[in-house]
Chains A and B, each alone.
Chain A
Amino acid sequence: MNFDLRLPIGIMFSLFGLILVIFGAVSDKAIYEKHSLGININLGWGAVLLVFGVFMLFLTWRASIKPAQPQRRDKK
């Protein structure tokens, strides 16, 4: 079997989310006046990406503990 694809998706989007949230918190607010209607879209959308990434990681984790139990029984 191949590895669970949700793992790299989760890591990548959590990483992107973190980068945008941190950058959104420290960046000069003038860029949002110029581009995104005054909304700090880096902070806002970064949070969305972070939530999505963490959710994917949660799904990966949940899937990884489920099939592990019957496998252990097989070994005995």
Chain B
Amino acid sequence: MHIQLGGIDYAILLIYFGFVIGIGWVLKRHMKGSTDFFLSGRSIPAWVTGLAFLSANLGAQEVIGMAASGAKYGIMTSHFYWLGAIPAMVFLAIFMMPFYYGSRARSVPEYLKLRFDEKTRGFNAISFAVMTVFSSGISLHALAKLLQTLLGWDYNACIAVSAFIVLVYIFLGGLTSAIYNEVLQFFMIVLGFSPLVFLALKDIGGWSGLQQKLIPVATSQHFAAGTWSESWKHMGSSLENPMGVGWFGMTMGLGFVLSFGYWCTDFLVVQRAMAANSMSAARRTPLIAAIPKMLFPALVILPGMIAIAMYYAGDHFLPFVDNNPAKGIDYNMTIPMLLAKYFPTGLLGIGFTALMASFMSGMAGNVTAFNTVWTYDIYQSYLAPKKSDAHYLWMGRWATVFGILVSIGCAYLASKFNNIMDMLQLVFGFVNAPLFATFLLGMFWRRTTGHGAFFGLLGGTLGAAFFHGLALSEGADVGIKGGWIAKEFMFHSEMGQNFWMAIVAWTTCFALTIIISLATKRTKSDEELKGLVYSLTPKPETAHEPWYKQPVTVGILVLLATLILNIIFW
């Protein structure tokens, strides 16, 4: 299943990467100190940080994965946007950004150090640093594997070339370079995939034609007729939908714990907002991102739904996993196969470049988050404190090289041992799930202590692991998928199991942090917590700004629009 790229497609690809590297090159002379390199000198306007905020999350998982999910589960995938992203982004803008930006912390772990203590920061910094290089490696592996399958390119060469491009532009221009390229990639994705959606939707007879053709997809899998085209109607219980998740697990697990844990505490995205040129711009960053995010299902989920409808209508253009019919449809090929089907040479170059760009900027996002946390929170804190700023800038550049080399190692690890990667992602899941409880209590309850936060977090992580040992989804083998203590809780799907694991981890952390905080002495006075805790911080004054620059007003409008979308596609 090769795609044939023509000369014009290669020309577009080369021009794009020329611009990517060129931007890094021009930015090089602006990199005078470590804050320029790691925080873009806090000088970026809101529309740029906003689009970068969105793009940093728009890696391989998003484009390929959400289209795959659209084919597999239908419009229910939109919950990852309208339920699992927008509310958390609005919360970050209104309530949390004042602490991140206002405290002058340079990273999320550093905020934890200011608010709690060294051990809480260390735990977060180290787990985050390891996680980002592995994620970057996984992006790299996925890209190389895709190019190998589609174009017949050499796997090793793909790894080397992609890693080199990312290395060059971050090494030269630091976070600014990554952010600028993320914005470039945002426009590539939007302008590259819109004609795909237009052509595919026209081909299938518009939205009503699609709804009709999705009925056999649902009924042949023994679900109600509208399951693929209605987002909430089939969530009464986990048996009614292909995701195998009920409304409570979805709302609490994805909508609250996982979503807020990711969007509000993951330094990869928060770093983009921290680079903004003012408090007002920092708070508007997630809101500006929320507007395109709201519409992204049309760009990434809809093509998947169209593809599966066509497949069931007899157009078998999707391949099987490893070309083996017994393994089922390879949903990850949805977007590449649609590109090959609808794009003639020329536009194919744009579409393909957009796809490659999304992998690379996913990788770059991880690398910039890694080099910052490594340099500020690990190197400067534990290994070499009190060095000159020029020294940390130097370290940041070499941390980029180091991070990319480790990513390459991880990519090869992923290509050889799939289980190691599953294992790591599982462990990261344990660490991440309880995190939002710590932040919520830390920001809104001044009584929360360092011991409470640290042991609560540890307890939540262990709680997640323990629950994983007791739970298993139908048809899965005992082991990495769970159930290694006992098969106590059975789920209809792995997704349901994950959502519930997150709920358990969060609740454990929340309860433990409160209990331990009440039992231990406060180590930080009200004075020290100013700017770090909600009740002790003066509210940012926004009354003099026009309405579209006021986070609360814009936030409410964004939430209303999201609600309307949910109702339309209910």
Nearest CB in chain A: distance from B561 CB, A: 24
Contact B350 A8 (CB under 8 A): no
Residue of B184, B187, B191, B195 touching A41 (CB-CB under 8 A): B195
Is A68 an interface position by the 8 A CB rule? no
Nearest CB in chain A: distance from B185 CB, A: 11
CB-CB contacts of A9-42 with B at 8 A, as 1s and 0s?
A: 1011101100110011001000110111101011
Instruction: Pick from B7-15, B138-146, B326-334, B370-378 the stretch touching chain A.
Output: B7-15
Contact B195 A5 (CB under 8 A): no
Is B16 an interface position by the 8 A CB rule? yes
Contact A48 B191 (CB under 8 A): yes
Closest residue on chain B to residue A31 by CB atoms: B344
Contact A2 B199 (CB under 8 A): no
Nearest CB in chain A: distance from B548 CB, A: 18
In the complex the two chains form, what is the Cα distance from A8 to B22 in whole Å?
A: 9
Is B97 an interface position by the 8 A CB rule? no
Contact A20 B350 (CB under 8 A): yes
In the complex the two chains form, what is the Cα distance from A27 to B344 in whole Å?
A: 10
Nearest CB in chain A: distance from B23 CB, A: 6
**Hey, which chain B residues are within 8 Å of A57, CB to CB?**
none
**Hey, which chain B residues are within 8 Å of A54, CB to CB?**
none
Known: A13-B191, A16-B12. A41 touches B27 (CB 8 A): no
Contact A9 B44 (CB under 8 A): no
Contact A2 B30 (CB under 8 A): yes
Nearest CB in chain A: distance from B19 CB, A: 5
Contact A35 B187 (CB under 8 A): no
Is B148 an interface position by the 8 A CB rule? no
Interface residues of B in 371-417 (CB under 8 A from A): none
**Hey, which chain B residues are within 8 Å of A37, CB to CB?**
199, 202-203, 342
Residue of B11, B44, B203, B344 touching A32 (CB-CB under 8 A): B344
Is B345 an interface position by the 8 A CB rule? yes
**Hey, which chain A residues are within 8 Å of B203, CB to CB?**
37
Known: A9-B184, A37-B199. A20 touches B347 (CB 8 A): yes
Contact A36 B43 (CB under 8 A): no
Residue of B11, B16, B341, B347 touching A12 (CB-CB under 8 A): B16
**Hey, which chain B residues are within 8 Å of A23, CB to CB?**
8, 346
**Hey, which chain A residues are within 8 Å of B217, CB to CB?**
none
In the complex the two chains form, what is the Cα distance from A30 to B120 in whole Å?
A: 63
Interface residues of B in 228-252 (CB under 8 A from A): none
Nearest CB in chain A: distance from B338 CB, A: 11
Interface residues of B in 321-366 (CB under 8 A from A): 341-347, 350
Nearest CB in chain A: distance from B339 CB, A: 10
In the complex the two chains form, what is the Cα distance from A37 to B15 in whole Å?
A: 28
Known: A2-B43, A20-B347. A36 touches B12 (CB 8 A): no
Interface residues of B in 1-52 (CB under 8 A from A): 8, 11-12, 15-16, 19, 22-23, 26-27, 30, 40, 43-44, 48
Extra contacts, 5 of them, besides A2-B27, A5-B48 (Cβ < 8 A), are A5-B183, A19-B12, A23-B8, A36-B199, A42-B347
Chosen A-B contacts, 20 in total, with CB atoms closer than 8 Å, are A2-B30, A8-B22, A8-B180, A8-B184, A12-B15, A16-B350, A19-B11, A19-B346, A20-B346, A20-B350, A34-B344, A35-B341, A36-B344, A36-B347, A39-B199, A41-B344, A42-B344, A42-B346, A45-B195, A45-B350
| 7 A-B pairs with the lowest CB-CB distances in the bound complex, closest first | A31-B344, A42-B346, A35-B344, A45-B195, A23-B346, A12-B19, A5-B180
